[in-house]
Amino acid sequence: MSSPTGTSARPHVVIVGSGFGGLFAAQRLAKHDVDVTLIAKTTHHLFQPMLYQVATGIIAEGEIAPATRIILRKEKNIQVLLGDVFKIDLEGKTVTHRLLERITETPYDSLIVAAGADQSYFGNDHFAEYAPGMKTVDHALELRGRILGAFEQAELSDDPDERAKLLTFVVIGAGPTGVELAGQIAEMSDKTLKGTFRHIDPTEARVILLDAAPAVLPPFGPKLGQKAAKRLEKLGVEIQLNAMVVDLDYDGLVVKEKDGSTRRIESQCKVWSAGVQASPLGKQLSEQSGVELDRAGRVQVLPDLSIPGNPYVFVVGDMMAVDGVPGVAQGAIQGGRYAADAIIAGLRGQTQEQRKPFSYFDKGSMATVSRFSAVMQVPLPGTKKKFETEGYFAWLGWLALHLVYLVGFRNRLNTLVNWFFAFSTKGRTQLAVTEQQVYARSALGALSDLEKQSIPEVEARVSGIPSTKADAG
């Protein structure tokens, strides 16, 4: 087991996760009188709201996943480490993480946990093999391969039933991600792929959006939800509500209706966007501090985003449960900045009792439905009312907002060029797929199982080996 070393005696802040919460916290702490170590299990900062555009060939993954080291290379007080954090010791004030067989223990004076969330299959984790989620670059690339691969297989088939199964795409979950993905699959099959095959007609592809809830886009309210549903139906998307998925396999899924009856949908390409589950690190924090978790595993933090008995351990982003704060990028950004400001203020003598509670500023919500169509909901300052709109104006607003939050001028420029090409010509520049993208899941799954089996052994090794807790500079 290794331990980061350094000569600085300055306070050491450890940040777990390189998403919006972790990255913006690190940038807030840059050039202050602290040393910062950012630990993440990926080498990039992912702009997750645009993953569906990677999956449907509009933009390249590099444009929404720039390297974290490159983003922070000018911040000399920040060190970036690659590793999967599997243990947080609140009493010993250490974080233990693993990269392959290398185990590293990093001490901290302050800790910001922004490890995010993964897809939730509501206790049916075996569904993941047949219906990938939309939480990582790997998911998006795998899904792109599955979508395009379904068309390629259908082109080779002479069996009408098999063709119908291959050309049926099911998106499970009618939230923003599900709506965006269903709309893009419909547009890609109807516009981009039209005329590119000789034995099948891609425009005859069947796209189904289903959800156990009774409405599309529930957080946006009935008015905007109905607008989005009508636009999707105009694109040819079949919307099936009050339909709960109770079983999944390679060739299709079983749906339970509201009246208790079940039916089967034959489909080889399925996508899951129906729920989220916070990082298991939240459970560790709960066991050690007594902080409560909600049903999704999120930590019910104190008003200053810390946990009981640990005034300098903060939980932000998709891992925190705060009333009125949705699991969106803005909540993570504001939470990360707040935690960083609290640490800086603490260095200047502010006590926990003197901290102002975290206050979330709701900048609104947006979701694209298709080319030139989106829904937008923005709170009116000083009132409880919200401005709601849909269509072309909302779509322009979505484009502008997401360009602003992309990291790096070149990424913004490349994305803008790809958008112009995709939306003006109906073509897409990112339609290359590889066999590894589609089939790597099984190999990664086997590796993950081995890693999970080794965690108790690793923890035993860590607890049994004395370690000098050195400052990280």
* Residues annotated as part of the active site: 180
What whole-number distance in Å separates Cα of residue 220 and Cα of residue 407?
A: 27
The residues with which 82 forms a beta bridge, in sequence order, are 40
Strands lying side by side in the sheet with 84-89: 84-89, 94-99, 102-107
Which are the contacts of 173, defined by CB distance < 8 A and separation ≥ 6?
Answer: 211, 272, 273, 274, 275
What whole-number distance in Å separates Cα of residue 218 and Cα of residue 365?
A: 12
Both tokens assigned to 436: 């590894």
CA 421 to chain centre: 26
What whole-number distance in Å separates Cα of residue 374 and Cα of residue 415?
A: 18
Beta carbons within 10 angstroms of residue 195's beta carbon: 9
Which of these, 83, 86, 80, lies nearest to 462 by C-alpha position?
A: 86
Burial of 82 (0-12, 13-18, 19+ CB in 10 A): middle
Buried b (16+ CB within 10 A) or exposed e, 408-432: beebbebbeebbeebeeeeebebbe
